[in-house]
Chain A
């Protein structure tokens, strides 16, 4: 029998806007899909970078409630510290800002994205194959 380390996703809110609906739906969906979710809430860019080291996640999800330039700074920091660490972004990101983030090779999930698409992206980005999702309750 082989025991695998659970696949960990770090979720952070980049801004000081407290709306939690989007990020909490994503957290639940990832937990249902078998991921271990570390939710650090509203965090400063440096706090997110530190958590990405301390928590050793396999994926970082940024919930954006502010300006895209803050997201750029965080992505640059994460990519400098751990170039192999995949990142995805969600939230009310305007199309012009979405294009900028996607130009960095980071996927963006705007309002209305389906939970299945988000869970699948998490599996794909972390290299978890469908085997890990077998216990997922069907939705």
Chain B
């Protein structure tokens, strides 16, 4: 290749050989005068940042059955994790199927492979046994929107049964549109309109009962992993937030700034372009602050403060030479920290093969702990603030993100881009280009398209998980069905169906249903009866 290399960020923003004062955005002087914790929060969500509160070490975890999942979570907490995430079996959770649903029975062996099978509130009690959820920040699962209300209701019901005050309970939901409608389109799912209704219901319910809880978390990560580049991810996250806020405003039941506080807990992907991802997190905070102020007139400082969870790109983890992924995890985590994340998850080095083994999980924790405790990274907030390059890149990304958000609005808004498949097409084009770049060697992937000779003395074989989980889950399901009060369960299901058909909030009836031992699949049947299926814009 004789062409001069064109230097650019992974999203295609051209890069100069060096940056100097003339590259600084006009607003820089004003910005450098700001302190971390000052609006519009480019320099950090909080004054003091990690001196005051180190980022939360927050890893995905779980497999097999509720006992195994609880054991892995307690292992992580014992080894220094400071929050925990419950992963669910995708076969059952994402589709709201009980294990005896024909789709699940057809592939029993898949059950429990990437999360525990959780049929109802009893399984939540098993997972959470011995975990002080009044203190430890928890995420009960509910990644896809149709699963969110069930997962949250189960977790909160466990808290209630323990006599805890829900108003003080810390944690976060997810109910992510990117996972549900863009990255992980399932066989059966509620429509985007129903998803919006569920999420607005959760936001309202939390405003009333769980003020410390992050009701839903918009997960740009899932958009980015599906192909959206950095500024598209930023724009789409805020396009999603606009849908939530417009819906809450239309309903008029809770103050908009309270909803904005809830919606301001988001997540982003941190990938291998270190500086672009640092700039992305910085830009995101300013965008949120500006969006609330200019679009909704919300000036409440708490609402304007965007809190970020960052997750390292699973797609960056290579199948060959997996130990190299420990270095990748470190670099990506560093982007999150230098960008001022509040919370961080690091993918396992065996990510391309399986869910993490115990050892891979421990190594992800150690990466975070070395960054947090050995590297002096917690001493100074926004250490790159004022750097010519970083400030320029922050500005460029933000400008491009506003442009892409305008395109989303031209398409009729975020939900419309999902219903039409417009966003899928954008993502698909990027996926293809990324792959071609790597295949051609123009984008270097060490161990894959160069330096592929491996002299590792270790055979990393991927986590095997557990077997026989279908039978195990079926036995638990049978127990629930025989031991519960059938009369109460039927009555609770009827109430739930009535709530779904009404204009009211679905969460009180969902809480009552899980408390009556109604199962995941029974709730799914109600959703399918009442709401039908989403017309998927892609053929998978």
Contacts and interface: CB of A to CB of B under 8 A. Distances in A.
Interface of A: 13-21, 23-25, 28, 39, 41-42, 44-46, 65-67, 69-70, 73, 92-97, 110-112, 114-116, 139
Contact of A45 (B107, B187, B462): B107
Nearest to A12: B540
B432 A19 contact: no
Contact of B435 (A14, A19, A73, A115): A115
21 contacts: A16-B110, A16-B187, A20-B183, A21-B431, A25-B431, A28-B432, A41-B187, A42-B186, A42-B187, A42-B540, A45-B106, A65-B90, A66-B110, A67-B107, A70-B107, A94-B350, A94-B354, A94-B462, A95-B461, A110-B319, A114-B435
B94 interface: yes
A110 B103 CA distance: 26
Contacts of A112: 318-320, 352, 438, 445, 448
Contact of B185 (A20, A45, A73, A111): A20
A16 B448 contact: no
Contacts of A45: 106-107
Interface string B397-441: 000000000000000000000000000000010011001101110
A46 B102 CA distance: 12
Given A110-B352, A115-B435, 17 more contacts: A16-B90, A16-B94, A17-B114, A18-B90, A18-B186, A24-B431, A24-B540, A41-B539, A66-B110, A67-B107, A70-B110, A94-B354, A96-B461, A111-B352, A112-B319, A114-B439, A139-B439
B463 A94 contact: yes
A96 B318 CA distance: 16
Contacts of B114: 17
Contacts of B225: 21
Contacts of B438: 112, 114
A19 B183 contact: yes
A95 B321 CA distance: 12
A139 B436 contact: yes
A21 B107 contact: no
B353 A92 contact: yes
Contacts of A13: 540
A106 B459 CA distance: 22
Interface in B507-540: 538-540
A16 B186 contact: yes
A101 to B, nearest CB: 13
B436 A15 contact: no
Interface string B183-205: 11111000000000000000000
B227 interface: yes
* Residue from A39, A41, A67, A69 having most chain B Cβ neighbours under 10 A: A67
A112 B439 CA distance: 9
A15 B107 contact: yes
B380 interface: no
Contact of B107 (A14, A18, A115): A14
B147 interface: no
A21 B225 CA distance: 9
A17 B184 CA distance: 7
A20 B95 CA distance: 16
Contacts of B463: 94
Contacts of B440: 139
A18 B448 contact: no
Contact of A17 (B90, B109, B431, B539): B90
Interface string B435-472: 11011100001001100000000011111110000000
Main secondary structure of the interface of B (DSSP, over half): loop
A14 B436 CA distance: 26
Nearest to A42: B187
B187 A67 contact: no
Given A21-B226, A24-B538, A111-B319, A95 B459 contact: yes
B104 interface: yes
Given A23-B540, A24-B431, A139-B439, A95 B107 contact: no
Contacts of B538: 20, 24
A126 B463 CA distance: 33
B178 to A, nearest CB: 12
Nearest to B439: A114
A95 B439 contact: no
A97 B90 contact: no
B298 to A, nearest CB: 35
For B354, B438, B463, the residue with the greatest tally of chain A CB atoms inside 10 Å of its CB is B354
B185 A16 contact: no
B354 A16 contact: no
B523 to A, nearest CB: 17
A96 B494 CA distance: 47
Contacts of A110: 319, 352-353
A18 B94 contact: yes
A133 B352 CA distance: 30
A42 B463 CA distance: 24
Contacts of A116: 439
A18 B462 contact: no
B91 interface: yes
A15 B186 CA distance: 10
Contacts of A67: 107, 109-110, 113, 465
A21 B227 contact: yes
Contact of A94 (B107, B353, B431): B353
Contacts of B319: 110-112
A86 to B, nearest CB: 22
A8 to B, nearest CB: 16
A110 B318 CA distance: 10
Nearest to A139: B436
A21 B183 contact: yes
Nearest to A47: B106
B106 A92 contact: no
Contacts of B94: 16-18
Interface in B59-92: 90-91
Interface string B89-125: 0110011000000011011011001100000000000
Nearest to A23: B540
A16 B432 contact: no
Given A16-B107, A112-B352, A25 B435 contact: yes
